[in-house]
Structure 1
Amino acid sequence: MLCVGQALTTTLGGNVTDFTRADVEVLDRQTGFKGFYRLDVLTLRHRLFNGGWGPSLRRELFVRHDAVCVLPYDPWLDQLVLIEQVRVGAIDKSERPWMLELVAGLIDKDEAPEQVAHREAEEEAGLALLDLTPICRYFPSPGGSDEQVHLYLARVDSRGAGGIHGLEEEGEDIRVSLWSRSDAMQALADGRIDNAATIIALQWLEMNLAQVRDNLGPRP
């Protein structure tokens, strides 16, 4: 809220701060909980846009492994492979906590993101990825989590895809389904697809479809 006499400064697009990690000072860091995931409690301060340093702030940080998410796309049939499973984060805020998602997994071993993509595609969907195209890396919730997502598009042969998959020892119950690209985009428009990785990947595919399908050639 502006005070009387306070000037409103407008920053045009393209102007970003030159602050770096050195402009944040962590004064204290304690582990509040440690299981498969970890919760740290940080006391920190940072430089201000108007100069000087701000006050000490107490923040909780959800410490997670980075994730890999893959949109399997069959360009010869113009269809997608999506998976469906229950998600604990949705049970309090959705009447349908079984979410339509991408193939995904955590980088919790000494593996490159591409290795995780291939492994999870086999475990969660019974798919062999023909290739991987990087889409982007992003922070899904940087206000309280350090997780970074590695997002990919993968070409696949979707013939025969489907069924129930997942690792029994991890309690996974994953249903695999085939979607025409147009039906998937309609599900996105209708709000049936409502998780960030899937939304970003589908929108990227629509924006880059011509390039993805260019010089397609015969199915390997």
Structure 2
Amino acid sequence: MTEPFQFNSSDVTIEKRETVFQGFFRMDKLWLTHARFDGRDMPVFTRELFIRGDATCVLPYDPVRDEVVLLEQFRLGALGRNQSPWLLELVAGMNEDGETPEDVAQREGQEEAGLTFGELTKICDYMVSPGGSTEMIHLFCGLISTEAAGGLYGVEHEHEDIRAHVVSAENAIAMIHDGRINNAAAIIALQWLELNRSRLRKEAS
């Protein structure tokens, strides 16, 4: 059996590329070909690619009080589903030029929840939808105290309207199991917390 990852970017040829939409986000159309597993080249085909920069997401967790902070806000992409378009999510923001993911985590922690993370633990990096989008998420768990957490936040000129909720870790984990939390970053982070919660609490004590 052939091992995976036999190909790399050099096995892809972009014949033509053009920007077909430029607004808050960008959409490019590509004409491309690439190597095939059977040794032939794929005939030239077209794809639209959603150009979206990397983002950073953080699960704020207090290991002493065993609580997390989750943000409730409106999400346009959830309209038309059999659910509320106000979702419970993580602290999150787009990475700007010259910023590290850790920089973004601290900036967004302040803007979206009034939080400063004492320690940031890397959970993973993952691609959101690589079939059609360039976006990569840098995912962290950030240690905080929830004693004074919660309230209304958001940057007015960015049309943010955010309510920060303090939720027990047990209840937050239950919400991914019953589907009340159904966005990828929050699911991955809370499942990571479910696996690492005892260790984090032991280290904090």
Q: Normalising to structure 2: TM-score of the pair? A: 0.96
Shift of 1:107: 0.7
Asked whether 1:141 is paired with 2:115, we answer: no
Distance in 1 separating the partners of 2:143 and 2:189: 13
Could you tell me which residue of structure 1 aligns to residue 37 of structure 2?
A: 49
What is the one-letter code of the residue matched to 1:113?
Answer: P
Q: Report the equivalent of 2:66.
A: 78
Structure 2 contact 27–50 (Cα < 8 Å) conserved = yes
Residues 68 and 166 of structure 2 are in contact (CA less than 8 Å); yes or no, is this contact kept in structure 1?
Answer: yes
Q: What is the identity percentage for the equivalent residue pairs of Structure 1 and Structure 2? A: 49
Contact 2:20 2:29 in 1 (8 A): yes
The answer to whether 1:19 aligns with 2:37 is no
Equivalents in 2 of 1:18, 1:129: separation in Å? 40
2:193 matched to which residue of 1?
205
Counterpart selection for 2:86 from 85, 98, 112: 98
**Unaligned runs of at least 5 residues, structure 1:** 1-10
- The structural deviation recorded for 1:193 is 0.2
Detail structure 1 runs of 4+ shifted over 3 Å in the superposition. none
Gap regions ≥5 residues in structure 2:
none
Structure number with larger C-alpha Rg: 1
After superposition, what is the alpha-carbon deviation per residue over 1:139-195, rounded to whole angstroms, capped at 9, x for unaligned? 010010000000000000111111110011111100000111110111111100000
Counterpart residue number, 1:173: 161
Question: Secondary structure in 2 aligned to 1:16?
Answer: coil
Report the residue type matching 1:128 in the other structure: T
RMSD: 1.3
TM-score (norm 1): 0.90
- C-alpha separation in 2, matches of 1:36 and 1:127: 27
Structure 1 equivalent of residue 50 of structure 2: 62
Aligned pairs for 1:2-13 (under 5 A) are: none
Aligned residues: 205
Matched residues in 1 for 2:83 and 2:189: separation?
Answer: 24
